[in-house]
Structure 1
Amino acid sequence: MANPWAGEVEVVLGAERRVAKLTLGALAELEAGLGEASLMDLVRRFESGAFSSRDVLALLVAGLRGGGWEGRAEDLRTVEIGGGPVGAARIAAELLARAFTVPGQGGS
């Protein structure tokens, strides 16, 4: 089970439940992979609804890797993510929110 106080989000990959978390290393990998000037640019895209499927996939991979998963983006292209594309986008947004807020203080 995911612990929101630790910034964790539950992700269902096929029949397997995983924990995702944006650690500092995962955030650095995400920033480098997306080529953003800053992570705040990515946060703004999510807040405005202007994010892409590439953004969602990159966030999921970074979060899962921060949670100990050793897979690659290619692995997520063939597995059913709980909630489908909408669920994946919700999880990605939740990962960002939990990385930058404290639960109970304006975050999710």
Structure 2
Amino acid sequence: MANRHRGEITAHLNGKAETLVLTLGALAELEDAFDGKDILAVAERLQSGRLSARDCTRIIGAGLRGAGQPISDADVAMMTTDGGAAGFVRIVADLMAATFRPLTDRATEYPQTASQTPAGLPGK
């Protein structure tokens, strides 16, 4: 089962529930795949709403590999999901949201006390 607190999601690919997560290594892989841009530039590009099928293949592949699946992008390109192309876009959107959700959302999940706040930073 996916742990959203660790950025994991569950996606149904080829009729099977799969876990995806963008680990640090998976994010580095995506930086390389997107012309060496830093990961925030990649995230901003994807937030523009313009995704190619190749973008989806790369991101889903990186997420599967981040979760430990030994799979190539060519294998991902042959997969199916509910909703066709729109289903793949939803998977990418869900994975990106789980990876890059705002820190303010996390603060409400894990409230800090004054003793847990790093020195020099204001507490909540």
TM-score scaled by structure 2? 0.75
Post-superposition offset of 1:94? 1.8
* Deviation string, structure 1 residues 50-104 (Cα, Å, up to 9, x no partner): 2222111111000010111111011122221233211111111221221122688
Letter in 1 for 2:24: L
Over alpha carbons, which structure has the higher Rg?
2
Post-superposition offset of 1:33? 1.7
> Cα 1:7–1:28, aligned 2, differ >3 Å: closer, same or farther?
same
Post-superposition offset of 1:15? 2.2
> Cα 1:81–1:20, aligned 2, differ >3 Å: closer, same or farther?
same
Runs of 4+ in 1 over 3 A off after TM superposition: none
> Cα 1:86–1:23, aligned 2, differ >3 Å: closer, same or farther?
same
Provide the residue aligned with 1:96 in structure 2: 96
Asked if 1 retains the 8 angstrom alpha-carbon contact of 2:15 and 2:81, the reply is no
Letter in 2 for 1:77: A
Q: Identity across aligned pairs (percent)?
A: 36
Structural RMSD (CA): 2.0
Provide the residue aligned with 1:43 in structure 2: 43
Question: Number of aligned pairs?
Answer: 106
Q: Does 1:64 align with 2:64?
A: yes
Asked if 2 retains the 8 angstrom alpha-carbon contact of 1:11 and 1:82, the reply is no
> Cα 1:74–1:93, aligned 2, differ >3 Å: closer, same or farther?
same
Q: Specify the SS of the correspondent of 1:105.
A: helix
* Deviation string, structure 1 residues 21-75 (Cα, Å, up to 9, x no partner): 0000111111112214222222122222122221111110000101111110111
Post-superposition offset of 1:8? 0.7
Letter in 1 for 2:80: E
Structure 1: which 5+ runs fail to align?
none
> Cα 1:36–1:105, aligned 2, differ >3 Å: closer, same or farther?
same
Structure 2: which 5+ runs fail to align?
107-124
